[in-house]
Amino acid sequence: MTDVLGFGLDGLEHDQLGEILAVHPRGDFKNEFLRAYVDGLKNRPETTNGTVNSDVLEHFIPGFQRVTTVERIVGSPWPS
């Protein structure tokens, strides 16, 4: 959460953070991570249903439509 979304970043000591990033640089992390994220999911899009992962496919894969919980309930084999 801290590395991807920045949660708690304000609470990290500046010098300590600098030392970590010097050894493990972020580079173009936001874009590269999103690319790796898409690449890891695009061949099994249905596994993202109901998770934060479907956000990523919805953003980057043209035509991708997430299956919502409402659609699954309405489309269930029950008559009512």
Long-range contacts of 27-32 (CB under 8 A, 24+ apart): 29/3
Tell me phi and psi for residue 55, to 5 degrees.
Answer: -55, -40
Contact between 6 and another protein by CB under 8 A: the answer reads no
Cβ neighbours of 14 (radius 10 Å): 7
Restricting to residues 11-70, which ones interact with another protein according to CB under 8 A?
A: 11-12, 15-17, 19-21, 23-27, 29, 32-33, 36-37, 39-41, 44, 47-48, 51, 53
Residues forming the site for another protein (CB under 8 A): 2-3, 8, 11-12, 15-17, 19-21, 23-27, 29, 32-33, 36-37, 39-41, 44, 47-48, 51, 53
